[in-house]
Each structure stands twice: as structure tokens, then as C-alpha cells.
């Protein structure tokens, strides 16, 4: 596994919002090379807003955001959006979609080369979708679509992988496959990963550092510090039990898994 290296993303007392509506205030954290960070919080708490700021899609209303140090080259981000946000009418093949990951390196005019095609095929092989390269993206299952979007992010040869709710709405088998895949890229390839999820158990079992986003508060720390029973009870306003079963962290609220 890769050791923690230089700081890739740094937020200092950042305020985020849309026009007059402030979503998150006083957000401070760093993400360093080789880290696996989870972003959790209730629905509408501002998780995606923080990620949009990391992606430089949203400008901060206050504070400072530093991306990839001071004068180094641009941080290359492999972004995996929520798959439901993509609903194409055109029959893009899986290969077409993954090839888009190369476009950032090519620029708007340059035509993909044989090397770009090979990188695309490699990325497809990494997520076990090589056989479906010529299938229409529209015809894939939810889990396959998610893997195609991860392959597209990998094809960009990113410094950091940012995933927005990668397991949302998936059945158990697909969920485990996706989480294993992400864990594999972190542990075997040393990939820096940031994963948003509202599924606390998913995050608790794969990440080492957690950001907990609430409408008025922002906390960052280890899994044990942040996902404590007391903290979760306060946030979700219900009794929560945090335990371990067969080496797996389990978070239960009133008999329901959260």
C-alpha cells in the first residue's frame, strides 16, 4: 500500500453555497496522496457541494481552497458521478464512454491515438468489462454502468479518484463488487480515493478517514472518532449502535441497518 504523501487538496475555513444560501461553513481539511477518505452525512447536508468545490465546479464564497500544492501541475481528477445523473438518448458504447476519460489529456481537437485506445481497453479490463466494450451503455445494468464510469475515471490516469454515491440503489452483490473494486485500486495501486456515501456501513468498512457533513457542522477524523454512537445519535436524532460482527463494522439504528 502507498504511504501518505503530499497534500493534494486543502480546504481552509471554506464557506460554500449557492448565491445567498450557505450550505457549509468553516470547512477545513486536507487530502493527501494515498489516503482513502469517506464523506458521509444526512441527505441534503452538503456532501455533494463539498465535492463540487473539490472539482472546481463550485467557487467558494469564503476561505481558501488549494488544489495540488502551489505551483505543481494541475491535479488530474478521475470523477465518478452518480450514475442516475447520466441518461443518454444516444447509443454510446461502453468503449465510447470510457474513451471520454482520455479526452482531458487530448484536448478539444486532437483525435484519440492507438495508445489512447489501449489505455481505454486497459481500463475496461481493470473493471472486468472488456467483453462489453461494444455494448450500448444504455443497455448495461446499474452495477455495470457504475463499473463503466469507474473505468472512464481510471482511463484519465488520475491522481485522485472521487466517487459520488457509487453504491446507491444497488443490490447486495453489485454493492460488494463495486466496494471491492474501489478498495483494490486503493490498496493495490495506491490510488487516492474520496468516496461520498450516505450508507455508513459501506464507508466505515473501507475508508480510514471520514468527513461528516451536517447542515451547520463539519467534522473530520478517524472512523472510530467520527462514527461514534454518541455522534450518530445526535446527527440522526435516534439511538444508534456501532459494533463489529465477523471483522465487519455494523451500524444499526432501531434495528435497521444504516
Partner 1 sequence: MSDAEILHTIFTEFPFALFGSVIAGILCAYLGVYVISKRVVFVGATLTQVAVAGIAFAHLPYVHIEPVYGSIVFTVIVTLLFGWMLQSKSVPRDTILGASFVAAIALRILMIQKSAGAEASEIDAILKGDILFITADQFHLLLVAFLSIMTVHLLFQKAFLFVSFDAETATTQGFDSRWWEMLFYLTIGGAISIATRVVGDVFVIGFLVVPPAGAILTARKVKNIFLLSILYAILPPIIGLYLAFRLDMPAGPTTVATALLLLLGTWILSRLKR
Asked if 44 interacts with partner 1 (CB under 8 A), we say no
- State the Cα–Cα distance between residues 195 and 114, nearest whole angstrom: 32
Among 77, 123, 133, 207, binds partner 1 (CB under 8 A): 77
When the beta carbons of 92 and 236 are compared against partner 1, the nearer one is 92
- State the Cα–Cα distance between residues 227 and 153, nearest whole angstrom: 29
Task: Give me the least distance between CB of 233 and partner 1, in Å please.
Answer: 34
Which strands form 7-18's sheet, in the order they lie side by side? 21-32, 7-18, 62-67
The candidate with the shortest Cα–Cα distance to 27, out of 57, 79, 65, is 65
- State the Cα–Cα distance between residues 118 and 113, nearest whole angstrom: 9
Among 13, 28, 56, 257, binds partner 1 (CB under 8 A): 56
Among 10, 30, 93, 219, binds partner 1 (CB under 8 A): 93
Please choose, out of 31-39, 53-61, 227-235, 250-258, the segment that lies near partner 1 by the rule CB under 8 A: 53-61
When the beta carbons of 99 and 235 are compared against partner 1, the nearer one is 99
- State the Cα–Cα distance between residues 65 and 62, nearest whole angstrom: 9
Contact 41, 200 (CB under 8 A): no
Angle at Cα 51 formed by Cα 42 and Cα 184, nearest 5°?
90
Report phi then psi at 145, rounded to 5: -60, -45
When the beta carbons of 88 and 239 are compared against partner 1, the nearer one is 88
In the chain, what are the helix, strand and coil shares in percent, each to the nearest 5?
35, 30, 35
Footprint of partner 1 on residues 109-168 (CB under 8 A)? 109, 136, 152, 156
When the beta carbons of 44 and 243 are compared against partner 1, the nearer one is 44
Asked if 103 interacts with partner 1 (CB under 8 A), we say yes
Asked if 253 interacts with partner 1 (CB under 8 A), we say no
Asked if 96 interacts with partner 1 (CB under 8 A), we say yes
Residues making contact with partner 1 (CB under 8 A): 18, 55-57, 74, 77, 79, 81, 85-86, 88-93, 96-97, 100-101, 103-104, 106-109, 136, 152, 156
Amino acid at each position: 500500500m502507498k504511504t501518505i504523501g503530499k497534500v493534494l487538496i486543502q480546504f481552509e475555513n471554506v464557506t460554500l453555497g449557492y448565491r445567498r444560501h450557505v450550505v457549509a461553513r468553516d470547512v477545513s481539511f486536507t487530502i493527501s496522496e494515498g489516503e482513502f477518505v469517506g464523506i458521509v452525512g444526512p441527505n441534503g447536508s452538503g456532501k455533494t457541494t463539498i465535492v463540487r468545490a473539490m472539482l472546481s465546479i463550485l467557487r467558494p464564497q469564503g476561505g481558501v481552497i488549494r488544489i495540488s500544492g502551489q505551483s505543481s501541475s494541475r491535479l488530474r481528477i478521475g470523477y465518478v458521478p452518480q450514475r442516475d445523473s447520466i441518461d443518454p438518448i444516444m447509443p454510446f458504447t461502453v468503449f465510447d464512454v470510457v474513451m471520454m476519460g482520455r479526452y482531458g489529456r487530448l484536448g478539444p481537437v486532437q483525435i484519440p491515438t492507438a495508445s489512447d485506445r489501449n489505455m481505454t481497453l486497459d481500463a475496461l479490463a481493470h473493471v472486468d468489462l472488456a467483453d462489453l466494450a461494444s455494448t450500448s451503455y444504455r443497455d448495461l445494468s446499474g452495477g455495470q454502468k457504475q463499473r463503466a464510469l469507474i473505468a472512464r475515471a481510471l482511463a484519465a490516469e488520475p491522481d485522485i479518484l472521487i466517487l459520488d454515491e457509487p453504491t446507491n440503489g444497488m443490490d447486495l452483490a453489485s454493492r460488494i463488487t463495486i466496494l471491492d473494486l474501489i478498495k483494490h485500486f486503493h490498496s493495490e495501486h495506491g490510488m487516492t480515493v474520496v468516496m461520498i456515501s450516505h450508507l455508513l456501513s459501506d464507508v466505515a468498512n473501507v475508508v480510514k478517514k471520514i468527513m461528516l457533513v451536517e447542515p451547520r457542522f463539519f467534522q473530520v477524523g478517524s472512523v472510530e472518532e467520527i462514527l461514534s454512537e454518541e455522534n450518530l445519535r445526535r446527527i440522526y436524532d435516534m439511538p444508534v449502535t456501532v459494533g463489529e460482527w465477523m471483522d465487519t463494522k455494523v451500524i444499526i439504528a432501531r434495528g435497521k441497518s444504516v
